[in-house]
Amino acid sequence: MQKQASLLGGAMIIAGTVIGAGMLANPTATSGVWFVGSLLVLAYTWFSMLSSGLMILEVNTHYPQGANFDTMVNDLLGRGWSIVNGLSVAFVLYLLTYAYIFVGGDLTAQALGNAPLHVGQIVFFLMFAVCVWLSARWVDRLTTVLIGGMVIAFLWANGGLLASAKLPVLLDSHTPADSSYWIYIGTALPVCLASFGFHGNVSGLFKYFDGNARKVARALQIGTLIALAVYVLWQAAVQGNLPRSAFAPVIEADGNVKVLVQELSKFASTGNMAWILNFFSYMAIASSFLGVTLGLFDYIADLFGFDDSRSGRSKTAAITFLPPLIACLLFPTGFVHAISYVGFAATVWTALVPALLLRASRQKFGVGTQYRVFGGTWLMVWVFAFGVMNILAQLLSKGGILPVFTG
């Protein structure tokens, strides 16, 4: 008798996918709205992204296990939307895989005694890609270990900072009364959206849990809540010690860990924080690589109709992993030119399409009997509006129209 997939394992896959290296960008991206504003933006984004993920889950219950975006969007929204959605899914997941191989490979090369970059990339790739090829259960087990290590490293690095966080700094009490905060929300929203991306894993978890939609829903809720808690504690650790008025060097360095630790050390004891954060980052990158590529793997299998046999999984793995690996080996930093468009493309299939899918699904099948996401039309409008707001924020930011906090 095959052992049932654990709820904890599913939640860890979601948490591991969500908590990537992007976590380090959150305090910088939200420095304009500061701590109270960042809590509201994070809570708003968490609720909207969780809701859209649950929408995908309800739609998924009307299709066979293994059906992914391609099947559902093509059937409910038509070929045009399927092409747009497919291109956005492929762009985001392939680009993130490419970026994680580079960053994870660089850290692996350093850990191997400054080995050549391509050696580090191949070692990192082989260690984690094989797990995805084997099964979701392997990803479940390894991600649980990585999340455990991340929690230990996080508490080790931030325990002292959380204890030394000061309420006046968190509330920015010493800033002049006419200081602006909410005008910077547009630059915070897209980064927070990218920090809660897990939607490529919903269909895979539905299959992994053998069609138990309620169990999948609980895994999504627990996994995203873990991520939200980590983000809030990280915001408190950084923004409770480093004043808003002293954030300029960190913003200028685009949230670089070394610069962040240097600036924090002027206001609080940081000890070995830089080394520990590098360790945390490595595990975050590895767990995100596993989650992102598992989502891409399941999408590719549905798109090309590959089965779950060893031969089918090998074909899926080849299409999933070889393009980003070859691109990374030939053009190690090529992803940098396109990474700023990830948030824009991700908004399509994490907000706009889920709302449209649920509306079309309820028109065709009625309300889900196996699982029904809470809310009705208002929630679809909420999620769709959330997506539109994020797209507008990104367009206005790229056009230089939105104000940017510089410290």
- 234: amino acid identity, one letter: W
Q: How many domains does the chain have?
A: 1
**Residue at 23 is within a domain:** yes
87: domain CATH number is 1.20.1740.10
Q: Which pLDDT score, from 0 to 100, does residue 353 have?
A: 97
Structure tokens at 398: 């790229």
- Is residue 2, in this structure, part of any structural domain at all? no
pTM metric for this prediction: 0.92
**Is 21 a member of any domain?**
yes
Low-confidence ranges of the chain (pLDDT < 50): 1-2
First CA to last CA distance, the chain = 59
Range of the domain at 294: 7-399
Q: What is the 3-state secondary structure (H, E, C) of the chain?
A: CCCCCCHHHHHHHHHHHHCCHHHHHHHHHCCCCHHHHHHHHHHHHHHHHHHHHHHHHHHHCCCCCCCCHHHHHHHHCCHHHHHHHHHHHHHHHHHHHHHHHHHHHHHHHHHCCCCCHHHHHHHHHHHHHHHHHHCHHHHHHHHHHHHHHHHHHHHHHHHHHHHHCCHHHHCCCCCCCCCCCHHHHHHHHHHHHHCCCCHHHHHHHHHHCCCCHHHHHHHHHHHHHHHHHHHHHHHHHHHCCCCHHHCHHHHHCCCCHHHHHHHHCCCCCCCCHHHHHHHHHHHHHHHHHHHHHHHHHHHHHHHHCCCCCHHHHHHHHHHHHHHHHHHHHHCCCHHHHCHHHHHHHHHHHHHHHHHHHHHHHHHHHCCCCCCCCCCCHHHHHHHHHHHHHHHHHHHHHHCCCCCCCCC
Q: What is the pLDDT of residue 22?
A: 66
In a domain, residue 174? The reply is yes
What is the Cβ-side half-sphere exposure of residue 292, based on CA atoms within 13 angstroms? Answer: 31
Beta carbons within 10 angstroms of residue 236's beta carbon:
19
In a domain, 405, yes or no: no
Position 21 scores a pLDDT of 58
pLDDT in tens, 31-84: 999 999 999 999 999 999 999 999 999 999 999 998 999 999 999 999 999 999
**Could you identify the residue written with the tokens 């290296």?**
21
Q: Is residue 140 part of a domain?
A: yes
Is 404 part of any domain?
no
Residues 6+ apart with CB under 8 A from 235: 26, 27, 30, 35, 38, 39, 42
Token duo for residue 107: 């850290």
Output the pLDDT for position 270. 76
1 falls within a domain: no
Whether the CA torsion 139, 145, 148, 149 is positive or negative: it is negative
Looking up tokens 């399409």 gives: 353
Looking at residue 115, its amino acid is A
Q: What pLDDT is stored for residue 71 in this prediction?
A: 95
Q: How far is CA 109 from CA 106, 114, 125, 257, 375, in A?
A: 5, 5, 12, 19, 49
